[in-house]
């Protein structure tokens, strides 16, 4: 895959979810996989405006995500470019990926659809050939039990 999509059903109106995505206070409140503090949260929510979020994870690493807002359609849609650095080391050698969030009003509140796309130029190019994802799945038996190289340990 070159990207993935997550959905959440949220008991809050779209404008509240939108603000959580596009304000520094909002972002600081939920960003990151663990209960570690967000240490920097800068959000300039206008087209071409940037965001920068620095946060720690339970494994002691410090991560920084940054990018620009590409689309803003309150309270329905947010599109951002995305770069990631771990302990100051830029990931993906300058490659940029793309985050898209769509908010749809529902009777319970908001249906959120989150996509992280174009995850790497190289991986993306390869995926058009098809097959490597399948190859990785096939090899899963052998991969199980191999020491992991994960960036952080998000507990399930």
Footprint of another protein on this chain (CB under 8 A)? 1, 4, 6, 8-13, 15-17, 19-21, 26, 29-34, 61, 86-87, 89, 91-93, 97, 105, 107, 109-110, 112, 114, 116, 119-120, 122-123, 126, 129, 131-136, 138-143, 146-152, 154
Of residues 11 and 48, the one with the C-beta less far from another protein: 11
Listed residue (76, 55, 78, 59) closest to 68, CA to CA: 78
> Which tokens in the block code for residue 67?
């990018």
> SS3 for 103?
strand
- Min dist CB 59 to another protein, Å, is 9
Report the 3 state secondary structure along 125-149. HHHHHCCHHHHHHHCHHHHCCCCCC
Of residues 48 and 156, the one with the C-beta less far from another protein: 156
Of residues 32 and 48, the one with the C-beta less far from another protein: 32
- Cβ-contact 47, 77 below 8 angstroms: no
Host H or E run for residue 116: strand 109-117
- Min dist CB 29 to another protein, Å, is 5
- Min dist CB 52 to another protein, Å, is 16
- Min dist CB 67 to another protein, Å, is 13
Of residues 47 and 90, the one with the C-beta less far from another protein: 90
How far apart are the C-alpha atoms of 155 and 62, rounded to whole Å? Answer: 18
């Amino acid at each position: 895959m070159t990207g993935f999509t997550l959905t959440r059903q949220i008991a809050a109106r779209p404008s509240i979810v939108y603000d959580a995505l596009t304000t520094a206070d909002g972002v600081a409140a939920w960003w990151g996989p663990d209960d570690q503090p967000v240490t920097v949260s800068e959000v300039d929510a206008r087209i071409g405006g940037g965001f920068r979020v620095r946060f720690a994870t339970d494994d002691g690493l410090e991560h920084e995500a940054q990018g620009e807002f590409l689309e803003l359609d309150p309270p329905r849609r947010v599109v951002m470019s995305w770069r990631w650095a771990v302990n100051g080391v830029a990931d993906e050698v300058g490659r940029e990926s793309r985050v898209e969030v769509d908010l749809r009003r529902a009777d319970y509140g908001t249906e959120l659809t989150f996509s992280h796309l174009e995850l790497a130029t190289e991986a993306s190019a390869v995926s058009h050939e098809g097959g490597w994802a399948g190859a990785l799945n096939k090899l899963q038996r052998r991969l199980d039990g191999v020491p992991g190289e994960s960036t952080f340990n998000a507990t399930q």
